[in-house]
Each structure stands twice: as structure tokens, then as C-alpha cells.
């Protein structure tokens, strides 16, 4: 897997740089590293996390006995234990026998479809105390999501940083009841965060309106032909927004989406429509992939061509595999449930092929557990990549950290543990390089230099979570 997008893509896509603000109100369990507005004593400006076993997120082997020097919200220096200059006077945190990985990134969440701030805050709290320091929101009502982003940034709530998309789709999609739920008070299809696009659309204005939501990207969702997918992508890139897309947009085929030069493609399952002579004309037609058309043994040549195209364009695959595998397994006990577009075995097979070919894979989920779960949803995607796809623990951590940061367009600030990056990392009591299950042995999460101890975690309540899950 590549360690960074091509330089041309990086220059074109740009980055949204968050302001470095001191927390106004400290969330429970937070150890402040700057003076809060309420006048409480400030913690030392320097903190030395000493003598840890370090996995930096690049896929490189684990290093024993490493020190991490943090100044404010950023990493100042790394090095072997006891060797860092400038650590004199720093507050020391002894991590002997502990393991440190970069903060995890969930590259596919929905926080406000429909808006429900208590539920969103409970999910985000569970994420942060479980080691997730950033999420990529893949289109919602951006009015509450924008406020959640601000609250997370300044430490008013315990939450990962949030990077979100404004959605564009064809006219047919705007009959979807979810659109009604996220467009209250605005004409459906005209909200800057959820715009109806047709061949007569003024794309320059549409993208400018989307930029006004402070979105990181445009999400191309459904019901658009190849020409419009390409045109939206070109205009978004011209205005320095990234483009995140479904891997089949219907009627635009997966090959069309790849050729359009989008930055990230979601759902490995949808890519399998490329094997068919025709695909559904609209997203709303849920006819499953005809998996009989895949090569019976070995890698499928049609999929290989798609994956080579992704590699040539420097694109990332947001596979969301655990969702499909789990649902398919559940149908054995609930045969009345309609099938998804792909079976679990097909999703595993396609993800394995993409991984073997070197396509960068991020860890997106696209679902949310209820109040009975105390660990982040992204853990399921890590376990999918390790146990079903067969990636090594170091490769899985790389997918959940550096590749996740690239998917969100935030690789300049996060994704790896290195000087100059944000102090976003997780302290574990067991070695995840030996067993990926150790990601649930969390001692503390450090996000932007603030410490969130697992012992202080308050699990979501039934009242916070309500009924149902995101889809």
C-alpha cells in the first residue's frame, strides 16, 4: 500500500486545517493540557510519554522502549527511551509495558440521519474512549454535524474530530425519505449539504454552496450518469474539495467512477456490478450483483482491471466489509430479510483481491450499534480485515490510521505518530501486533494532547441511543 497520495492529488485536494483552540468546557475524564476558560490550573506544556512499545501507523515494525514528547496538542519529538533533548521539566507518564498506536479512524459514519444529538454524542463518546480520534461523516444534516464538529474540536464534548461531506445526487434520489429527514426547513434538493444535480445544474455554484457548509468533500451518491460524475469531480477538485463516491453511482458504472478521478470509493460490493453487461439504471433498484459472473477460481480479471485503475489514480477503497458479512450471516437465522447487493463471501473475496493488488483500504463501518455495545463499530471492520481478509495486524492498523487519514484528507495532521502531527494516539495494555484483539485493551486515548482514560468511560444509555441503527 502507498504511504501517501500522489503529490498532485495532495495539492489539488488541499486540506481543511482546524484552528488550535483551548477547550472551553472539559469533558469528563479529560486531562487538560492548556488552561481552560474557567481558570483551572494549567497542566504542564510538555508531557513525556515514556518507554512505550510504538507502532507508528505506517506499517513499519513495532519499536520497543520509545518516548513521545508532546507539546500542547502536537507531537514534538520521538526517540529511544531517555534520549530526547528538550524533555527536561516535562510531566512524565510512564508507559513501560504499554503499547501505543495512532488514533483509529472510522472512514464511514452517519451522525445525523435523522438528527439526534444525544445519540450522536453517545456514539462519539464511545468512539473516543475506545481509541477513535477521527471520523469521516458520509452525508447527513450538516447543521447539527457542524456543531458536533466544533464541540469535538474545542473539547466541549468527548468526541473524535469530524470531517464531513456535502451530498450530490440525481433527481430520483430526492424522493428518499431520508432526504426529507435531513432537509427540514429547506426545499428538498436545494440544501447546500444535499443538492439535486441534473444536466442543467450550475456546478460551480453548487460546489461553492457545498464549500459554505465547511465540508471536506463532496459525496457523489446516486442516480447520475458518468458525464455528470466526472463533471462534479472536476469542479470539486478545482475548488479544492475532495470527492468521495459510491463505487457504483447507477447508471454510472464502477469503471466510470474510477475514471472520474474521485478520491475515495465506498462499498467494495458495488464494484462487482462492473462484471455485468448492464447494471441497474437507478440506485433505488436493489437487484443484487450476479455473482455467478465472477471468475470461479482465483482473482477476477474484470475486478483486477478496476483495481489497477484505482492504483493508477491513487484512489482509496472504503470497503465497509463487516456490514455485509454480518448481515449475510444473520440472514441464515432470518431468511425473511431481503439480501443485500452482495453476499458476505463475495465481499471477502473482492476485498482480498484489492488488498493483494495493493489498493489502499480504509476502515469504514456505515452502521451503529445500540446501547448494549461498549466498543466502537470500527473494531468490527478491523476484525473483518484481520480475520476474514487475512491482513496482518500491522497492515490492519495501517488501514485504520494512515490510510484513514488519507481518506479524510487529513494526512498532514494525523494518521501516523511522528513529530509535527497531532498528538492522537491510543495506549494499550496488550500488543496489537501479536493479536489485533488487543485494540480493545485500551488504557487511555490521547486526542489533540488531551487524555481520555478508559476507566472514566460512561457507556451509552438506552435513553441516549433510542431505537434503530443508521444504514
Element (DSSP H or E) covering residue 8: helix 7-13
**Which residues lie across from 50 on neighbouring strands?**
94
pLDDT in tens, the chain (471 residues): 333 333 333 333 333 333 333 333 333 344 444 444 334 344 448 999 999 999 999 999 999 999 999 999 999 999 999 999 989 899 999 999 999 999 999 999 999 999 999 999 999 999 999 999 999 999 999 999 999 999 999 999 999 999 999 999 999 999 999 999 999 999 999 999 999 999 999 999 999 999 999 999 999 999 999 999 999 999 999 999 999 999 999 999 999 999 999 999 999 999 999 999 999 999 999 999 999 999 999 999 999 999 999 999 999 999 999 999 999 999 999 999 999 999 999 999 999 999 999 999 999 999 999 999 999 999 999 999 999 999 999 999 999 999 999 999 999 999 999 999 999 999 999 999 999 999 999 999 999 999 999 999 999 999 999 854 443
Positions of E strands within 319-399: 361-362
Nearest to 303 by CA among 343, 264, 350: 350
CA–CA gap between residue 215 and residue 149 (Å, rounded):
11
**pLDDT, tens digit, for every residue of 281-313?**
999 999 999 999 999 999 999 999 999 999 999
**Strands 194-196 and 190-191: what pairing?**
antiparallel
Nearest to 410 by CA among 238, 219, 237, 217: 217
Entry pTM: 0.90
CA–CA gap between residue 183 and residue 178 (Å, rounded):
9
Are 155 and 23 spatial neighbours (Cβ–Cβ below 8 Å)?
A: yes
**pLDDT, tens digit, for every residue of 222-251?**
999 999 999 999 999 999 999 999 999 999
Residue ranges in 314-377 assigned as alpha helix (H):
321-330, 344-356
CA–CA gap between residue 413 and residue 405 (Å, rounded):
8
Question: C-alpha cell of 216?
Answer: 471536506
Q: Tell me the average pLDDT of the chain.
A: 91
**Which residues lie across from 79 on neighbouring strands?**
67
CA dist 138 to 107, 359, 408, Å?
8, 21, 10
Residue ranges in 101-225 assigned as alpha helix (H):
117-129, 142-154, 177-181, 203-211
Nearest to 117 by CA among 469, 470, 464: 464
CA–CA gap between residue 362 and residue 379 (Å, rounded):
12
Q: What is the pLDDT of residue 470?
A: 40
Q: What is the DSSP letter of 459?
A: P
CB-based burial label for 192 (10 Å; 0-12, 13-18, 19+): middle
**What are the chain's domains?**
7-19+104-415 (3.20.20.140)
Q: Is the bond leading into 114 cis (omega within 30 degrees of zero)?
A: yes
Are 131 and 439 spatial neighbours (Cβ–Cβ below 8 Å)?
A: yes
Q: Is the bond leading into 233 cis (omega within 30 degrees of zero)?
A: no
Q: What is the DSSP letter of 274?
A: G
At 420 the three-state DSSP class reads: coil
| Total Cβ atoms within 10 A of residue 42 | 12
Q: What is the pLDDT of residue 467?
A: 55
Amino acid at each position: 500500500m502507498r504511504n501517501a497520495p500522489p503529490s498532485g492529488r495532495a495539492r489539488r485536494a488541499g486540506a481543511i486545517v482546524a484552528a488550535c483552540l483551548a477547550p472551553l468546557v472539559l469533558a469528563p475524564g479529560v486531562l487538560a493540557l492548556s488552561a481552560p476558560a474557567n481558570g483551572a490550573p494549567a497542566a504542564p506544556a510538555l508531557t513525556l510519554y515514556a518507554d512505550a512499545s510504538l507502532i507508528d501507523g505506517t506499517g513499519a515494525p513495532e519499536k520497543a522502549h520509545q518516548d513521545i514528547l508532546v507539546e500542547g496538542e502536537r507531537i514534538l519529538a520521538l526517540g529511544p527511551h531517555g534520549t530526547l533533548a528538550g524533555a527536561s521539566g516535562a510531566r512524565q507518564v510512564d508507559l513501560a509495558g504499554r503499547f501505543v498506536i495512532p488514533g483509529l479512524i472510522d472512514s464511514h459514519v452517519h451522525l445525523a440521519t435523522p438528527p439526534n444529538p444525544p445519540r450522536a454524542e453517545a456514539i462519539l463518546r464511545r468512539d473516543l474512549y475506545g481509541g477513535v480520534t477521527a471520523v469521516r461523516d458520509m452525508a447527513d444534516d450538516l447543521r447539527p454535524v457542524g456543531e458536533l464538529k466544533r464541540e469535538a474540536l474545542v473539547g466541549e464534548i468527548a468526541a473524535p474530530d469530524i470531517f464531513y461531506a456535502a451530498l450530490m445526487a440525481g433527481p430520483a434520489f430526492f424522493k428518499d425519505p431520508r432526504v426529507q429527514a435531513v432537509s427540514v426547513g429547506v426545499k428538498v434538493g436545494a440544501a447546500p449539504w444535499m443538492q439535486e444535480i441534473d444536466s442543467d445544474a450550475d456546478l460551480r455554484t453548487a460546489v461553492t454552496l457545498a464549500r459554505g457548509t465547511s465540508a471536506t468533500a463532496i459525496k457523489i451518491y446516486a442516480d447520475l450518469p458518468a458525464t455528470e460524475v466526472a463533471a462534479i469531480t472536476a469542479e470539486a477538485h478545482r475548488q479544492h474539495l475532495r470527492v468521495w463516491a459510491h463505487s457504483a453511482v447507477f447508471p454510472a458504472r464502477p469503471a466510470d467512477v474510477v475514471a472520474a478521478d474521485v478520491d475515495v470509493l465506498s462499498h467494495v460490493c458495488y464494484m462487482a456490478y462492473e462484471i455485468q453487461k448492464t447494471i441497474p439504471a437507478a440506485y433505488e433498484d436493489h437487484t443484487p450483483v450476479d455473482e455467478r459472473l465472477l471468475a470461479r477460481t482465483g482473482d477476477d480479471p474484470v475486478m483486477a482491471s478496476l483495481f489497477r485503475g484505482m492504483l493508477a489514480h491513487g484512489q482509496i477503497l472504503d470497503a465497509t466489509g463487516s456490514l455485509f458479512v454480518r448481515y449475510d450471516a444473520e440472514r441464515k437465522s432470518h431468511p425473511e430479510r431481503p439480501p443485500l447487493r452482495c453476499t458476505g463471501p463475495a465481499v471477502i473475496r473482492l476485498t482480498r483481491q484489492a488488498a493483494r493488488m495493493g489498493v489502499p483500504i480504509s476502515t469504514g463501518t456505515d452502521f451503529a450499534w445500540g446501547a448494549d455495545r461498549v466498543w466502537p463499530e470500527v473494531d468490527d471492520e478491523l476484525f473483518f480485515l484481520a480475520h476474514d481478509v487475512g491482513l496482518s495486524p500491522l497492515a490492519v492498523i495501517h488501514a485504520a490510521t494512515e490510510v484513514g487519514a488519507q481518506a479524510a484528507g487529513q494526512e498532514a495532521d494525523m494518521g501516523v505518530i511522528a513529530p509535527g502531527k497531532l498528538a492522537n494516539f491510543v495506549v494499550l495494555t496488550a500488543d496489537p501486533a501479536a493479536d489485533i484483539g488487543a485494540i480493545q485493551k485500551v488504557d487511555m486515548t490521547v486526542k489533540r494532547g488531551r487524555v481520555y482514560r478508559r476507566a472514566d468511560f460512561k457507556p451509552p444509555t438506552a435513553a441516549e441511543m433510542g431505537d434503530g441503527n443508521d444504514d
